[in-house]
Structure 1
C-alpha cells in the first residue's frame, strides 16, 4: 500500500515575507520531497491550490425537537496542475525508484479581494495547497498544507487615523428624587490598529450621584457567520481583554483618566470582504453603578497589518489619573 511505501513527505516554500504569509497575486514557489521505501508505480502527482470560506452551525435538538443545520460555502479559486503523470500514449505508469524524490513547483494566487485566513467558532476561511500522489488501483494519498493568507486593508483613508469620540450620561432616580447626572466623555486616538499595538483611551468622568462608580474597559471580537444569501445569521462575541479601574467616589467631577488596552499579538485581522464571515472589533468603555445600569460608550475599531499614525488629540486640562489595566 502507498502508506507503507511513502515516507517523510515535506514541503518547503521560497517565502521572503516574515511569517510565511501570502497575498493576492503572489507567486507561490518551493519544492516538496518524499522518500520511497520500495520501487513504486505512480499514475500521477498533482497539485491543487484552493481558497474557500465555510460556515456551519446547528440549533434545536433534544427531546421532541428537530435539530436544524445551517451552512454556507464560498470558493474564491480552485486551481489544479500536474507535476508528474503517466505516458499518455501508452498509459504506462511512471516507475519511481526507492529513495528520496524532490519536485519543484510554482503557482500563482489569483488577483482578487480575498479575505484573510481565519478560524472561528462556526466557520473558517482557509487557503490550501494539496499535493496528491496517485497509484494504480489505490486511493489517492493527499498531503494538505494551509497557507497563511493576508488581505491588505487600504490604510490611506483619513478616517482610519482620525480620533474617535463619544459621550453618554444618565441620572439615577429614587422615587421622586433625581441625582445630578453621571457623565462620561471618551476619546480613542484613531480607528485602525495592528496586533500587538496599545490603544490609548482618554476619558473624562463626572459622578454627580450619591453612589460610587467604577470604570471598566473591554476589547471585544465579534464573529458573525451567514449562510449563503445571508438568510440565516449566527453571532459570537469573544472577550479578548478586560480591566477594572479605580472607583470614582460620589459627587466627584472632572476626573481625567488615560487607559491603555493591548491588542493581542494573536488577534486576527478585521474581515469585511467575505459574504459569509465577518470579523470586527469593539472597544467598550463603561461606568458600573451599584444597583444601577452600566453607562457605556462603544468604539468600533479595525485591526490591520499596516501601522497607522494617529492625528494629534487636543489637550484636555483638569485633574489627571492614569490607570493601567491588567487583562484577563
Structure 2
C-alpha cells in the first residue's frame, strides 16, 4: 500500500459478537512510512442479507446463463472519524486537504446497532447474513484506501420452550426386503429414536436404534448424521416470483459396524454432538431458512438400496429452563464471551461488489454462535430486555 504500513480495524476488548442495540466500539489504526495527504477517514457500518446463484437454461440450440438474486438491508450508516464530514463541506463543494505525519495514528469510533431484531449472522453456500465495518481513507484525486472487517450479530432468541413437545422423544421405523437375483430374502427392519426433539449447540443428541437383519446380506454400517438444510429464495433476473434452492450438509455424525446376515445390532443412547450452529429458521432473514434433521442410514452390503430414516428436530439458543418475564417485551440472557464459539465450517471471503484489489483487512470470516457445553455452568448472565418481535 505504498506509504501505508498498516491499516486495520480493532474492536474494544477484542469483542467480535454483538446483540441488537449494542455499541460497536474500537479504533482504526493507520501506520504510515511517510506523511500522507487525505480528505477524511470515514467508516461505513452495514448489515444485510443476500442470496444469489446461476443456472444454465437451454435456448433452442444455445444456452443462456440466468442469474438469480435477492437480498435485504438492515442498516447502512456512515461515520467520519477524521477530517470533514460530508455535511460540513461548504457550498462550493470544496473539501479541505489534510496531512498525517509519519508514524502510527489511532482513531476511535462508536456505533450503536439498531435495536430492532437483526437476523443472526450466517455464511452459507448460496447466501449470507453479514455485518461489516469498512474504514475508508478518502482521496478524491486518487483511489480510496479501504480496510474491512466483519463481526457476528447473535440474532433474535430462539426459545426451545416454544417448541411443541420439546422434551418428547422422536421415533421412526422402517422395513425393507432386499432382493437377491430373483429371490427375495428376509426383511431388514430398523427402529430409531432421539431422546427429545429440541436442543442447544453443545448438547448431545442421544440416539438409540434397533436393527434386525433377517436377510442373507450383511449390514456394513449403521450411521446417524445431523444435517443442516438451508432453503434459499431468489428472483430470476431480479424480478417475478421467488425461486427456491436447497443445500444440505452434514455438521456432525457417528458411525458403527452393522451386523452379519440373520443377526441384529443395537445402539443405546449413542452420543451425537451438536457443534456451534445458528438457530432454526434464521428469523429476520426473509430469503434464507434453516432447518435441521437427523438421518439414520443402514448400509446394506452389495446393494444400492440402503435404508434411510429422517427426523426433523429443532436447534435454538435459549434453554427450556431459562425463565421468561411476563409483559410485552421478551427477556433473555446476554452471555459471557466464552460461551460463543466459532462455527465449524470453512471461512468465507467477505469481499463484495463494493470492494476491489485495494481493499484490505480481515477478509476471511466465520461467525460465532452460542455453545452450551461445559462452559454453561461457569458463565455469568445479565438480564436484558428485547423489543417485542410480534
Q: Secondary structure at the match of 2:2?
A: helix
The answer as to 2:223 corresponding to 1:227 is no
Match 1:12 to one of 6, 10, 13: 10
- Asked if the contact 1:160–1:308 (Cα under 8 Å) also holds between the matched residues in 2, the reply is no
The answer as to 2:191 corresponding to 1:185 is yes
Paired residue for 1:245? 256
1:62-211 matched pairs, under 5 angstroms: 64-86=62-84, 88-89=89-90, 91-151=95-155, 152-157=157-162, 159=164, 161-172=166-177, 182-209=188-215, 211=217
Q: Find the aligned partners of 2:21 and 2:307 in 1 and give their Cα distance.
A: 47
TM-score between both structures, scaled by the size of structure 2? 0.67
Q: Secondary structure at the match of 1:156?
A: helix
Q: Which moved more, 1:153-162 or 1:106-115?
A: 153-162
Q: Find the aligned partners of 1:16 and 1:305 in 2 and give their Cα distance.
A: 23
- Asked if the contact 2:159–2:320 (Cα under 8 Å) also holds between the matched residues in 1, the reply is no
Using the TM superposition, give the Cα deviation of residue 177 of structure 1 relative to its aligned residue in structure 2, in angstroms: 9.1
Q: Secondary structure at the match of 2:116?
A: coil
- Asked if the contact 1:230–1:276 (Cα under 8 Å) also holds between the matched residues in 2, the reply is no
- Asked if the contact 1:115–1:271 (Cα under 8 Å) also holds between the matched residues in 2, the reply is no
Q: 1:146 to 1:110 in 2, by over 3 A?
A: same
- Asked if the contact 1:85–1:94 (Cα under 8 Å) also holds between the matched residues in 2, the reply is yes
In our comparison, the structure showing a higher alpha carbon Rg is 1
Q: Find the aligned partners of 1:238 and 1:158 in 2 and give their Cα distance.
A: 24
The answer as to 2:51 corresponding to 1:55 is yes
Report the number of matched residues. 304
The answer as to 2:23 corresponding to 1:27 is yes
TM-score between both structures, scaled by the size of structure 1? 0.78
Listed as ranges, the gaps of 5+ residues in structure 2 are 322-390
The answer as to 2:270 corresponding to 1:259 is yes
Listed as ranges, the gaps of 5+ residues in structure 1 are 310-328
Q: Find the aligned partners of 1:11 and 1:254 in 2 and give their Cα distance.
A: 56
Using the TM superposition, give the Cα deviation of residue 48 of structure 1 relative to its aligned residue in structure 2, in angstroms: 1.1
Using the TM superposition, give the Cα deviation of residue 292 of structure 1 relative to its aligned residue in structure 2, in angstroms: 7.4
Q: Find the aligned partners of 1:150 and 1:162 in 2 and give their Cα distance.
A: 25
Q: Secondary structure at the match of 1:153?
A: coil
Paired residue for 1:315? none
Q: Find the aligned partners of 1:277 and 1:162 in 2 and give their Cα distance.
A: 27
Q: Find the aligned partners of 2:30 and 2:183 in 1 and give their Cα distance.
A: 80
Cα deviations across residues 146-201 of structure 1 (Å, max 9, x unaligned)?
11222232233354741332222325286999877544332212334444443210
Q: Which moved more, 1:129-138 or 1:200-209?
A: 200-209
Using the TM superposition, give the Cα deviation of residue 29 of structure 1 relative to its aligned residue in structure 2, in angstroms: 0.8
Cα deviations across residues 95-126 of structure 1 (Å, max 9, x unaligned)?
33332211111111112332222222222221
Q: Find the aligned partners of 1:255 and 1:136 in 2 and give their Cα distance.
A: 71
Q: 1:65 to 1:88 in 2, by over 3 A?
A: closer
Task: Give the CA RMSD over aligned residues.
Answer: 3.3
Q: 1:173 to 1:28 in 2, by over 3 A?
A: closer
Using the TM superposition, give the Cα deviation of residue 294 of structure 1 relative to its aligned residue in structure 2, in angstroms: 3.4
Match 2:225 to one of 206, 218, 221: 218
Q: Which moved more, 1:174-183 or 1:243-252?
A: 174-183
Match 1:298 to one of 306, 310, 317: 310
